């Protein structure tokens, strides 16, 4: 039998501090941007219009922050999570520079933690992944952890370590895109009149709208990102697992929630960082996603009067509207309908 095919790495294949340079470089084009918009219907104005972005000092409309994230994430999958049971969480994610159509993205990861589970069938791998554009400009830096299967339950796992990522990205670590000037922000064209000053810590927002996941859409999205994780594609094998269905890529839920959040956070122009995120229950085709958000914190940007940062917690739900802000039960356990708990910073214009 030929051994030329890639079966992916299993838990016992990883080593602490291992560095992996991922294939394949990806040049983003206008077609990628249009397809992303058709999948999620995002209405945030900065990635939607060159004319809007140029008035703010950018050279043209950058690609959506999450499109850049998903492309970099997808590069890592064949080496990190091809044999994943599930992606578990994110931390210390920062967007460091805009990505524009025509830019080429590459990715590199370093293994920062390994922990075998007590069942000896799976374990958790922690990696720090970085995305670069045009070879050398760092545009994205994030930590994630993923549950991975073992090839051989009797195999010994290399030295273990459980890292402790920062609980949040500090406000002074947020990067404002070079040249950005919100003093010329067109509030009417943006579609929302609420700026940084209009939000209060502790405020909760029901984003009202729902979006149903179609089988074809989540398959198309995952292919767009060249994410080859088996749990998203192979119904024959997934049909033999406990759940019996393909899982929706967690990033698909994040993008749906971000798109839904426009109704209430329409001027959250840039995602600057993800402090932490958990996919707390699985999602499948046919589920309708709703979302609500809470303002956790506000921060001024040093030396800037035109832009501030909001720390936002967005909770996504399946088949349950966000009225009443469903979250956890009295014992602190997530309700079954909660699928995502995402803590992140957005940059927003000030008035």
CATH number at residue 189: 3.10.129.10
- Per-residue pLDDT band at 239 (split at 50, 70, 90): confident
Output 56 or 1, whichever has higher pLDDT: 56
Dist CA 96 CA 265 (whole Å): 22
pLDDT tens string 278-293: 999 999 999 999 999 9
Inside any domain, residue 298: yes
| Residue 287 belongs to some domain of the structure | yes
Of 2-6, 98-102, 134-138, which gets the smallest average pLDDT? 2-6
Looking at the chain, the whole-number percentage of residues with pLDDT higher than 90 is 87
Nearest to 194 by CA among 52, 44, 343, 349: 349
Per residue in 142-174, pLDDT (tens digit) is: 999 999 999 999 999 989 999 999 999 999 999
> pTM here?
0.94
What pLDDT shows up at residue 245?
A: 80
Q: For position 315, what pLDDT does the model report? A: 98
Range of the domain at 274: 11-153+166-349
Average of per-residue pLDDT values in the chain: 95
Rounded Cα gap, residues 187 and 244, in angstroms: 47
Assess if residue 1 is contained within a domain: no
- Is position 303 within any domain? yes
95: left (phi over 0), alpha (psi -120 to 50) or beta: beta
Q: Residue 257 has which token pair?
A: 């929630």
Phi, psi of 349 (to 5 degrees): -65, 150
Average pLDDT for 194-199: 98
Q: Are strands 19-27 and 104-116 parallel, antiparallel or unpaired?
A: antiparallel
Confidence of residue 344 (pLDDT cuts 50, 70, 90): very high
Q: Do the domain assignments include residue 225?
A: yes
**Residue at 260 is within a domain:** yes
- Quick check: 243 pLDDT over 80? no
| Number of folded domains that form the chain | 1
Q: Is the pLDDT of residue 1 over 70?
A: no
Q: Rounded distance, CA 146 to CA 114, Å?
A: 10
The tokens for 102 are 């025509």
Average pLDDT over residues 225-248: 81
Residues 351 and 197 sit within 8 Å (Cβ to Cβ): yes
List pLDDT tens digits, range 260-278.
Answer: 999 999 999 999 999 999 9
Cis peptide before 24 (omega within 30 of 0): yes
Is residue 159 assigned to a domain? Answer: no
CA-based angle 82:86:91, to the nearest 5?
A: 100
Q: What are phi and psi of 236, to 5 degrees?
A: -60, -50
What pLDDT does 102 receive?
A: 97
Residue 342, both tokens: 């995402």
């Amino acid at each position: 039998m030929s051994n030329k095919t890639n079966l992916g790495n299993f838990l016992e294949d990883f080593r602490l501090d291992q560095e992996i340079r991922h294939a394949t470089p990806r040049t983003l084009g206008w077609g990628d941007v249009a397809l992303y918009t058709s999948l999620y219907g995002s209405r945030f104005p900065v990635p939607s219009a060159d004319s809007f972005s140029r008035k703010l000092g950018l050279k043209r409309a950058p690609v959506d922050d999450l499109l850049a994230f998903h492309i970099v994430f997808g590069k890592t999958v064949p080496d990190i999570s091809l044999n994943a049971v599930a992606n578990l969480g994110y931390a210390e994610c920062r967007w460091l520079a805009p990505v524009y159509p025509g830019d080429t993205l590459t990715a590199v990861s370093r293994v920062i933690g390994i922990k075998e589970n007590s069942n000896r069938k799976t374990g958790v791998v922690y990696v720090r992944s970085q995305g670069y554009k045009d070879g050398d400009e760092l545009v994205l830096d994030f930590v994630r952890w993923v549950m991975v299967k073992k090839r051989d339950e009797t195999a010994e796992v290399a030295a273990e370590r459980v890292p402790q990522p920062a609980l949040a990205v500090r406000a002074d670590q947020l990067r404002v895109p070079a040249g950005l000037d919100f003093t010329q922000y067109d509030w009417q064209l943006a579609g929302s009149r609420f700026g940084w000053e209009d939000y209060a810590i502790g405020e909760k927002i029901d984003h009202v709208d729902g979006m149903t996941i179609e089988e074809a859409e989540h398959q198309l999205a995952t292919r767009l990102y060249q994410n080859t994780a088996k749990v998203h594609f192979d119904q024959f094998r997934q049909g033999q697992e406990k759940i019996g269905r393909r899982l929706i890529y967690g990033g698909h839920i994040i993008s749906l929630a971000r798109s839904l959040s426009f109704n209430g956070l329409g001027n959250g122009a840039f995602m600057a960082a993800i402090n932490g995120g958990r996919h707390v229950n699985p999602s499948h085709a046919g589920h309708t996603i709703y979302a609500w958000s809470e303002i956790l914190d506000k921060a001024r940007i040093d030396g800037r009067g035109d832009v501030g940062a909001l720390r936002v917690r967005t909770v996504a739900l399946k088949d349950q509207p966000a009225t009443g802000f469903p979250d956890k039960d009295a014992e602190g356990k997530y309700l079954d309908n909660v699928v995502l708990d995402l803590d992140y910073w957005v940059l927003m214009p000030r008035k």
